[in-house]
Amino acid sequence: MLAEYWPVLLFIAVAIGLGIALLVIGLLAGTSRPTAEKLAPYECGFEAFEDARMKFDVRYYLIAILFIIFDLEIAFLFPWATVFSDLGVIALVEMGLFLLLLVIGFAYVWKKGALEWE
Amino acid sequence: MFDQFWTHLLLPVLYILAIVVPLILAVAMFVYWERKVIGWMHVRMGPNKIGPLGMLQAFADVVKLLIKEVILPTNSSKFLYYLAPMLALVPAFAAWAVVPFGEKMVLANVNAGVLYLLAMTSLGVYGIILAGWASNSRYALLGAMRSAAQVISYELAMGMSVVCVLVLTGSLNLTDIVHAQAGNKGFFDWYWLPLLPVFIIYFISGVAETNRAPFDVAEGESEIVAGFHVEYSGSAFAIFFLAEYASMILVSFLAAIFFMGGWLSPLQGWITADAPRWINWIWTGGFIWLFIKAFLFSFLFLWFRASFPRYRYDQIMRLGWKVFIPITIVWVFVAGLMKYYGWVTIGTGA
C-alpha cells in the first residue's frame, strides 16, 4: 500500500537532482564577468533608488485569504466525491447544503466587492 | 542484496528516467513546434536554419543558455534566488510520477493520484513568488504578485472541475478514472460530454495556471518586461522555461486523462475486429491515443497564443472568480445528480 508511493518519492528526488544539475552546469559552464551595472536590479536603465520590497495592494492579500478558504472547501469535497455513490441520497442532500453555505459565503464576498479589480 | 537494490532503486530510477528524458526532449521539440506554428500563423517561416527544417533549434538554444552567465543581482537573497527555479521545476516534473500512459503503463499507480497531482501543481506557485521576492527588483515583484494571485484563483476552478470528475468516477486513482470512461459508445462515453462546461473551464484554467497567453500578464512584455523571472539568466532561466513547458504538457495530458478517456480509443465499442497488435490499438486503445490527444491539447496552447490578444488583469480575475467558480460549483451538484440518477455510469473497463 505505502510501498506504491516509493517511486513517487524517488521521482521527486530525481527532479531535485535534475534541477541541481542544471543549475550547477550553468554556474560552471557559464561565463562569469560581473560588473556593478550588470548586477544592478533591472529597472529599464534607471538606477534603483530604494528597496523593491515595497507595500503592495491589499487585494492580493485578500485573494490569498479567499483562496485558502475555497481551497479548503475543495479539499472537503474530495473525500465526498470519492465515496458519493456508496452513501446515496444523504450525501447528495448534505453536499447540496454544504455547497449552499459555500455559495452564501461566496455571494457575501462578491457583494462586499472583494472580487473587484478596477 | 543486489536484487533488493535492483528492484527498489535501480529499476524505478530507470523507469523514472524513461519518463524524464522523453519529457525533456518533448519540451525541446514543443518549443520548436511552438515557434514553427506561430511562425506559420504569422505567415513567417519560423526557425529553419539549424538542422533539418530547423528541428535542432531548441537544442542549440539549450547549449547557448547553459553557457550564458548566471547573474545574481546585488540586492537579491542568494539562497532563495537559487531555490526559486528549483521549486518551479520539481513539482512540474514530479507530478508525472502518477500519470498513466496506458494500461499498466504507470510508474506509481497510487490511490491518491489526483490529490498528489493537485498538491504538486499547487506547489508551483511558490517558485513564482520566491523568484519575484528573491530578485528584489520591481518588475519581478510585481510580476510575481500578479502571477501568484492569478494562479491560485484559477487553481480553484481547476480543483472544482476535477471534483466533478471524481463524483462520476468515485476514485482518486488516475488509472481508474480512465477505466471509468470505457464503454461501447465510442468517444461519447468520455466525460467531456456530461461535464462539457467544466471540461472547457478545466482547460482554460490550465492555460491561466501555466501563465500562458492570453493570460500571460505575469510576463506582459509591454508592461513589466518578463515578470517574475526578469532577473534570471542562463541556466536558472532555462529551469523556469523547462518547468513552464513541462507543466503545459502536463495540463494537456491531464485534460486528456480526465475528460477525453486517456489512452482509450475514440472508436471503442464500434469496431471489434481481430487484427494484429500493431493495428489493433486503433480501436482497443493504447498510449498512442493518449499522445495524440495530448498533442492536440498542447497545440491549442499555441493556437491561443497566436490568436488571442492578452486579457487585462481585472478581466482575468473576473473570469476566474465570477464566471468559472460559480459554474463549477453548480456543476459539482449537477454531476452529483447525474451520478445519483445513473445518467452516467462507470465504464466496463475497470
CB contact under 8 A, B152 and A67: yes
Least confident of B60-74, B251-265, B315-329: B60-74
Is the separation of the CB atoms in B344 and B338 below 8 Å? yes
Instruction: Kindly report the nearest CA distance between residue A112 and chain B, in angstroms.
Output: 13
> What are the chain A neighbours of B12 within 8 Å (beta carbons)?
6-7, 10
Residue B270 backbone dihedrals phi, psi, to 5 degrees: -90, -35
Residues of B in contact with A67 (CB under 8 A): 152-153, 155-156
Read off the pLDDT of each residue in A7-16 and give the average, rounded to a whole number: 91
Question: What value does the mean pLDDT of chain B take?
Answer: 86
For residue range B230-263, what is the model confidence (pLDDT) as tens digits?
788 888 888 988 999 999 999 999 999 999 988 8
pLDDT band per the 50, 70, 90 thresholds, residue A44: low
- Integer Cα distance of B161 and B203 in angstroms: 10
Who has greater pLDDT, B137 or B167? Answer: B167
Q: Which of B7, B106, B325, B341 to mutate to test the interface with A (most CBs of A within 10 A)?
A: B325
Cell numbers for B84, please give them: 526559486
Buried (b) or exposed (e) across B22-33, using 16+ Cβ within 10 A? ebbebbbbbbbb
Please tell me the least confidently modeled range out of A6-10, A51-55, B277-281: A51-55
Give the per-residue pLDDT at A16. Answer: 92
Higher per-residue confidence, B348 vs B54:
B54
Q: Which residues contact residue B47 at a Cβ distance below 8 angstroms, ignoring those fewer than 6 apart? A: B32, B35, B36, B39, B54, B57
In chain B, pLDDT over 90 holds for what percent of residues? 30
Residues of chain B in contact with residue A10, where contact means CB-CB under 8 angstroms, are 9, 12-13, 16
Q: How deeply is A25 buried, as exposed, middle or buried, from its count of CB atoms within 10 A (0-12, 13-18, 19+)?
A: middle
SS3 B210: coil
Residues of B in contact with A91 (CB under 8 A): 336
pLDDT in tens, B288-319: 999 999 999 999 999 998 898 888 888 888 89
- CB atoms under 10 Å from CB of B309, counted, come to 7
Q: Is the pLDDT of residue B46 over 80?
A: yes
Q: What is the structure's pLDDT at B249?
A: 94
> Are the Cβ atoms of B16 and A7 closer than 8 angstroms?
yes
Work out the average pLDDT over B259-269: 86
From chain A, pick out residues whose CB is under 8 angstroms from the CB of B134.
none
> What mean pLDDT do residues A44-50 have?
67
The pLDDT assigned to A47 comes to 67
C-alpha cell at B37: 506554428
Residue A45, pLDDT score = 66
Q: Residues A85-116: pLDDT tens digits? A: 788 788 888 888 888 988 898 899 889 887 77
Helices (H), B95-186: 113-135, 138-169, 174-179
Q: Mean pLDDT, to the nearest integer, of B52-66? A: 87
Indicate the domain borders of chain A: 56-118
Higher pLDDT, A43 or B124: B124
Query: What is the mean pLDDT of the segment spanning B63-70?
Result: 86
Contact B181, A91 (CB under 8 A): no
Residue to substitute from A1, A10, A25, interface B, most B β-carbons within 10 A = A10
In a mutagenesis test of the B interface, which of A35, A85, A86, A111 is the best target, namely the one with the most B β-carbons within 10 Å? Answer: A85
How many CA atoms does the CB half-sphere of B20 hold within 13 Å? 25
For residues B168-194, give the mean pLDDT: 87
* pLDDT band, residue B350 (cuts 50/70/90): very low
ipTM of the complex: 0.88
Residue B64, pLDDT > 70, answer yes
The answer, yes or no, to whether residue B162 has pLDDT greater than 50, is: yes
Per-residue pLDDT at A79? 87
A85 interface with B at CB cutoff 8 Å = yes
Average of pLDDT values for B58-72? 86
- Using the predicted structure, report yes or no on whether residue B224 has a pLDDT greater than 70: no
A window 36-55, beta carbon within 8 A of B:
36, 38-44, 48, 51-54
Q: Choose the weakest-confidence range: B60-74, B148-162, B224-238.
A: B224-238
Identify the sign of the CA torsion A23, A29, A30, A34: positive
Range of weakest confidence among A40-44, B118-122, B268-272: A40-44
Q: To the nearest whole percent, how much of chain A has pLDDT over 90?
A: 12
Residues A34, B71: C-beta atoms closer than 8 Å = yes
Is A88 strand, coil or helix?
coil
Higher pLDDT pick, B275 / B204:
B204
The Cβ of residue B237 has, within 10 Å, a number of other Cβ atoms equal to: 20
Minimum-distance CB partner of B108 among A5, A19, A117: A5
Rg (CA), chain A: 25
Mean pLDDT, chain A, whole residue set: 83
